[in-house]
Chain A
């Protein structure tokens, strides 16, 4: 088998045409698996747990030839050791995640698709998965589970989120919908009883020091974290030309200005913030990824899978 290029349906433009989140996530997961020579969901154990239907890319060494002889169907034997990973996916649903720069593809859409796909992949490997949706505090969460039907509840939770941008209040408003990661991290740490893989999907528009402190808590509790910062290309490049009135999505006021005059200053501040987060992640040896909503989802997923495999090996 030869490695193939990432399929087109990992691209946001393609995914945007699919309204159903679960279908979208399955497509992402299947597409990712098809492009891999060898399944990363392998494990070595002596205690048999269950059978799983063969998927292209799976290691044929674990095929159960007896079942094949009886039923003419390919099944893999899975062992208990492979299923001991716990993963918490934290998705930001604050007002800033509703931003979409010129297209209908919001940052939240990107984040939700990614979360659904990752949980789908994890559940297929019998990993225990939990979802947490937060803005200034955890708003909704699922329990940690790997039972069948759990993924459906995750997808429903992701689909049912209604983000209401708040544009009337000033920049210091403390109403719900505003990103407040410190409180969210505190509660997540409390909830996680075992060492877990925490996937944080957010635009991280918060104080870098707060983020730093939150990541430190995860680190001290020996959790592994993948930080995925979801950003719109317009936020990355600030390509505005004409004088405009910028209205905050998290009740942080409005500002009339000439964007060309302020572009350098904005980019400078943005880059400083990003570097602070990157430094924090590097300090705790966490993965840090910037997800451009106009780009394909393959790189973050690959990163996640590699991280997961590494974690399995470590264990």
Chain B
């Protein structure tokens, strides 16, 4: 039994090997059977046969034995090649030709967030994977090279030689980012040399590895045929609950502590389990200062219904003053305010929670004392209120006369000649009432203002000078709008506004009354502005399909708006209607406080791409000293982190603007549920050949890989050579005469040809049969 087991271990497919040994006897059997079945042939001219036989006896016997030997070896080599014999020891090394070079062992260690899951009271998934990696590193032979790769973002690069890899492994800890096995494999592929290579994938293969849902890149297809791939088995599933998202409706708030200012917050919780039952958890939400002092705190209860995975919470946090906060001097530096931090902390209570690191989330707010808006007009505002100018309409709407001092919005009147970078630098938004008077240089300054985060609002001048200012505007801001140069008149029936369209998100406060607010508005003249659907905030109900009354487009970190009707009774009755004031205010607050998508990009493991308003910052320091600083650099006119953030937490710009940002863990990396072995196998099949490691003795897999070499391909080549030799011998030898070649290959071909011919005759009917006869 032991012998059988030992032989079985010497082949990839031992059954085929047994079949091959049996197949070797086929030519012998054919030979013996042919001897038994030889027909007796009475013959008169025996003297000539004896003479020929005596003359050629030796050669004939040699040829027959040689042909028999070749045929036996052919079948043996073919079947053994299919069985995949594994040579061991020195023979394997000689066969594989690396007796002196050793192997290249690449260890890919998954150190992503999901490996922080505790397997026992003391050990995490990562600890187990690291132990396996250490064991494999110990198993490596002296002439092997061991290269260690991590798979969590960002890739830290290879660690070698083996001593350094062991040292690194002993001190390694899991990180907070998601896993990217493909990147590691691509890097290994680029480093492949002629040596035999073993790639060991050590991962928990949880569902957080999003690449498992996608096929392998084309470059990695067939990698398993060039190298030996060993894979750890997927870890068992673990239930987890997390805060997947935290955001405020507006990132920038304008007002004062205790001024009735509220922060609308949206919170998303997610659970990764079978979601079969009801679940509860509580969430502590706090508004704090960057150093952690709590200003406001509240606790909410979250509830999941059976089958529900994601749970959303909406709440308003009042920006209340604390004793200390009152004393904080607010330093205004060109569009920046006092940073405040929203913190959310999940208490799973009765829910199973394998991972604690994704139970916290932070979001950074900016509280600014006043919003500063500049009005660019031809002349200073007049006091004649019988026929208000556009500037007067805007001033009345923006700042009531009675509240100029304490109002959170400060208005500044500017002449065209006063528009300089210094002037614009202290403003948050600019409203241009006479764009027809702007020169190209002023347009350029406005563009620069918008790019760093400012808001530029263009109004059509009421006297309707037909100049080329729309073209200058489109060109300066690089807008994708088409604007007619001459006003379009509505005729006897004024245009109405389309209230059926969805409300733009920055104007979400008005959504309840949006249609009612739009209904009384009439437009009599307009400059036809054709925009894309996403850029059209307000369109006409009975006008052109793509015409926008209020159009919006992002320029850099800022935004450009345009009202295509002048603030004049000859053009529209908008200034006199209830919509006008909330439209102006909500548009300003909504656009300047738009959190955008920037915050969600600040996750561990990814490079930080900051806005242009971070100009001047050279480094990000962790506020609580929890991780390393991140150097910043200017790349493609934006500020980016030179290295990705590795640790979640709060970071503060070391120089320049006083800004704070929050880095969180990637929410999807917390999915600790197991990927099925079948699905994993499907994904790995793209690599070609691979195999699971023995979970109880992972080092043995590497030992076997070290000492054994599959010589199946070599044998297949030998079988092919023998086949050619058989064909040649069968043609060259004595019994090969013209018209009667005796090669097996020829016989097979002739047999198939005869079968095909017979079938053709059957199909073609009796006439052909007759012809054939």
Pairing of A with B: yes
User: Which A positions have Cβ atoms within 8 angstroms of B?
Assistant: 95-99, 107, 165, 167, 171, 203, 205, 232, 235, 240-250, 252-258, 260-266, 268-270, 273
**Interface locus among B50-58, B513-521, B721-729:** B50-58
The residue on B at minimum CB distance from A107 is: B44
Interface core residue of B34, B38, B55 (most chain A CB under 10 Å): B38
Chain A nearest Cβ from B93, distance in angstroms: 45
User: Which B positions have Cβ atoms within 8 angstroms of A?
Assistant: 34-35, 38-53, 55-56, 60, 63-64, 733-737, 740, 742
**Is the pair B46, A246 in contact by a Cβ cutoff of 8 Å?**
yes
The CA-CA distance from A241 to B41 in the complex, in Å, is: 12
**Is the pair B60, A256 in contact by a Cβ cutoff of 8 Å?**
no
**Is the pair A261, B734 in contact by a Cβ cutoff of 8 Å?**
yes
**Is the pair B40, A245 in contact by a Cβ cutoff of 8 Å?**
yes
The residue on B at minimum CB distance from A257 is: B53
**Is the pair B44, A250 in contact by a Cβ cutoff of 8 Å?**
yes
Enumerate 24 A-B pairs (CB-CB under 8 Å) in ascending A order: A171-B50, A205-B44, A240-B41, A241-B740, A243-B38, A247-B40, A247-B42, A248-B46, A250-B46, A252-B50, A255-B46, A256-B38, A258-B64, A258-B735, A260-B736, A261-B60, A261-B63, A261-B733, A265-B56, A266-B45, A266-B52, A269-B51, A273-B47, A273-B48
**Is the pair A235, B44 in contact by a Cβ cutoff of 8 Å?**
yes
Among A167, A256, A265, A266, the residue within 8 A (CB) of B42 is A167
Among B35, B43, B50, B740, the residue within 8 A (CB) of A260 is B740
**Is the pair A205, B56 in contact by a Cβ cutoff of 8 Å?**
no
Decide: A205 near B42, CB < 8 A? Known: A255-B53, A260-B742, A268-B52.
Answer: no
Chain A nearest Cβ from B744, distance in angstroms: 15
The CA-CA distance from A270 to B44 in the complex, in Å, is: 12
Chain A nearest Cβ from B28, distance in angstroms: 15
**Is the pair B737, A263 in contact by a Cβ cutoff of 8 Å?**
yes
In the complex, chain A residues whose CB is within 8 Å of the CB of B43: 99, 246-249
Among A232, A242, A255, A260, the residue within 8 A (CB) of B49 is A255
Among B41, B45, B60, the residue within 8 A (CB) of A245 is B41
In the complex, chain A residues whose CB is within 8 Å of the CB of B736: 260
Decide: A261 near B51, CB < 8 A? Known: A165-B42, A247-B42, A250-B46.
Answer: no
The CA-CA distance from A258 to B63 in the complex, in Å, is: 12
The CA-CA distance from A263 to B740 in the complex, in Å, is: 12
Chain B nearest Cβ from A265, distance in angstroms: 3
In the complex, chain A residues whose CB is within 8 Å of the CB of B56: 261-262, 265
**Is the pair B47, A205 in contact by a Cβ cutoff of 8 Å?**
yes
Given A252-B46, A261-B734, 5 more A-B residue pairs with CB atoms under 8 Å apart are A248-B43, A249-B46, A255-B46, A265-B52, A265-B55
| Interface of A, helix, strand, loop or mixed by DSSP | mixed
In the complex, chain B residues whose CB is within 8 Å of the CB of A245: 38-41
In the complex, chain A residues whose CB is within 8 Å of the CB of B737: 260, 263-264
In the complex, chain B residues whose CB is within 8 Å of the CB of A232: 44
In the complex, chain B residues whose CB is within 8 Å of the CB of A258: 60, 64, 735
**Is the pair B52, A269 in contact by a Cβ cutoff of 8 Å?**
yes
In the complex, chain A residues whose CB is within 8 Å of the CB of B55: 265, 269
The residue on A at minimum CB distance from B741 is: A260
In the complex, chain B residues whose CB is within 8 Å of the CB of A268: 52
Among B39, B50, B63, the residue within 8 A (CB) of A255 is B50
The CA-CA distance from A205 to B42 in the complex, in Å, is: 15
**Is the pair A262, B46 in contact by a Cβ cutoff of 8 Å?**
no
In the complex, chain B residues whose CB is within 8 Å of the CB of A96: 44-45
**Is the pair A270, B45 in contact by a Cβ cutoff of 8 Å?**
yes
In the complex, chain B residues whose CB is within 8 Å of the CB of A240: 41
The CA-CA distance from A257 to B63 in the complex, in Å, is: 13
The CA-CA distance from A154 to B43 in the complex, in Å, is: 29
The residue on A at minimum CB distance from B31 is: A243
The CA-CA distance from A262 to B735 in the complex, in Å, is: 7
Decide: A260 near B735, CB < 8 A? Known: A241-B740, A255-B50, A266-B48.
Answer: yes
In the complex, chain A residues whose CB is within 8 Å of the CB of B48: 266, 269-270, 273
The residue on A at minimum CB distance from B39 is: A244
**Is the pair B49, A246 in contact by a Cβ cutoff of 8 Å?**
yes
Among A165, A235, A265, the residue within 8 A (CB) of B53 is A265
Among B38, B60, B740, the residue within 8 A (CB) of A244 is B38
**Is the pair A262, B53 in contact by a Cβ cutoff of 8 Å?**
yes
In the complex, chain B residues whose CB is within 8 Å of the CB of A107: 44
The CA-CA distance from A235 to B64 in the complex, in Å, is: 25
The CA-CA distance from A17 to B396 in the complex, in Å, is: 137
**Is the pair A253, B735 in contact by a Cβ cutoff of 8 Å?**
no
The CA-CA distance from A243 to B736 in the complex, in Å, is: 14
Decide: A247 near B41, CB < 8 A? Known: A255-B53, A262-B49.
Answer: yes
The residue on A at minimum CB distance from B742 is: A260
The residue on A at minimum CB distance from B41 is: A244
**Is the pair A266, B49 in contact by a Cβ cutoff of 8 Å?**
yes
**Is the pair A171, B46 in contact by a Cβ cutoff of 8 Å?**
yes
The CA-CA distance from A169 to B742 in the complex, in Å, is: 33
The CA-CA distance from A72 to B52 in the complex, in Å, is: 66
Chain B nearest Cβ from A177, distance in angstroms: 12
In the complex, chain A residues whose CB is within 8 Å of the CB of B42: 99, 165, 167, 246-247, 249
**Is the pair A262, B60 in contact by a Cβ cutoff of 8 Å?**
yes
In the complex, chain B residues whose CB is within 8 Å of the CB of A256: 35, 38
In the complex, chain A residues whose CB is within 8 Å of the CB of B51: 265, 269
**Is the pair B44, A249 in contact by a Cβ cutoff of 8 Å?**
yes
Chain B nearest Cβ from A280, distance in angstroms: 17
Chain A nearest Cβ from B53, distance in angstroms: 6
The CA-CA distance from A98 to B742 in the complex, in Å, is: 32
In the complex, chain A residues whose CB is within 8 Å of the CB of B38: 242-245, 256
The residue on A at minimum CB distance from B46 is: A248
The CA-CA distance from A241 to B60 in the complex, in Å, is: 16
In the complex, chain B residues whose CB is within 8 Å of the CB of A250: 44, 46
The CA-CA distance from A165 to B46 in the complex, in Å, is: 13
The residue on B at minimum CB distance from A96 is: B44
**Is the pair B46, A242 in contact by a Cβ cutoff of 8 Å?**
no
The CA-CA distance from A232 to B45 in the complex, in Å, is: 10
For the complex of A and B, list the 4 residue pairs with the smallest distance between their C-beta atoms, beginning with the closest: A265-B52, A261-B735, A96-B44, A99-B44
Chain B nearest Cβ from A255, distance in angstroms: 6
Decide: A257 near B734, CB < 8 A? Known: A235-B44, A243-B34.
Answer: no
The residue on B at minimum CB distance from A206 is: B47
The CA-CA distance from A254 to B46 in the complex, in Å, is: 8
Among A98, A171, A205, A265, the residue within 8 A (CB) of B45 is A205
Chain B nearest Cβ from A186, distance in angstroms: 22
In the complex, chain B residues whose CB is within 8 Å of the CB of A249: 42-44, 46
Among B35, B45, B740, the residue within 8 A (CB) of A235 is B45
The CA-CA distance from A268 to B38 in the complex, in Å, is: 24
In the complex, chain B residues whose CB is within 8 Å of the CB of A99: 42-44
Interface core residue of B39, B40, B45, B733 (most chain A CB under 10 Å): B45
Chain B nearest Cβ from A180, distance in angstroms: 13
Chain B nearest Cβ from A294, distance in angstroms: 15
In the complex, chain B residues whose CB is within 8 Å of the CB of A97: 44
The CA-CA distance from A44 to B511 in the complex, in Å, is: 148
Chain A nearest Cβ from B663, distance in angstroms: 86
Decide: A262 near B45, CB < 8 A? Known: A244-B39, A245-B40.
Answer: no
The CA-CA distance from A235 to B44 in the complex, in Å, is: 8
Decide: A242 near B735, CB < 8 A? Known: A250-B44, A252-B46, A255-B49.
Answer: no
Chain A nearest Cβ from B52, distance in angstroms: 3
Decide: A242 near B39, CB < 8 A? Known: A96-B45, A107-B44, A261-B733.
Answer: yes
The CA-CA distance from A128 to B40 in the complex, in Å, is: 44
In the complex, chain A residues whose CB is within 8 Å of the CB of B733: 261
Chain A nearest Cβ from B610, distance in angstroms: 88
In the complex, chain A residues whose CB is within 8 Å of the CB of B50: 171, 252-253, 255
Chain B nearest Cβ from A100, distance in angstroms: 9
The CA-CA distance from A245 to B39 in the complex, in Å, is: 6
The residue on B at minimum CB distance from A266 is: B52
The residue on A at minimum CB distance from B50 is: A171
Chain B nearest Cβ from A208, distance in angstroms: 11
Interface core residue of B43, B47, B55, B64 (most chain A CB under 10 Å): B43
In the complex, chain A residues whose CB is within 8 Å of the CB of B41: 240, 244-247
Interface core residue of A171, A244, A260, A268 (most chain B CB under 10 Å): A260
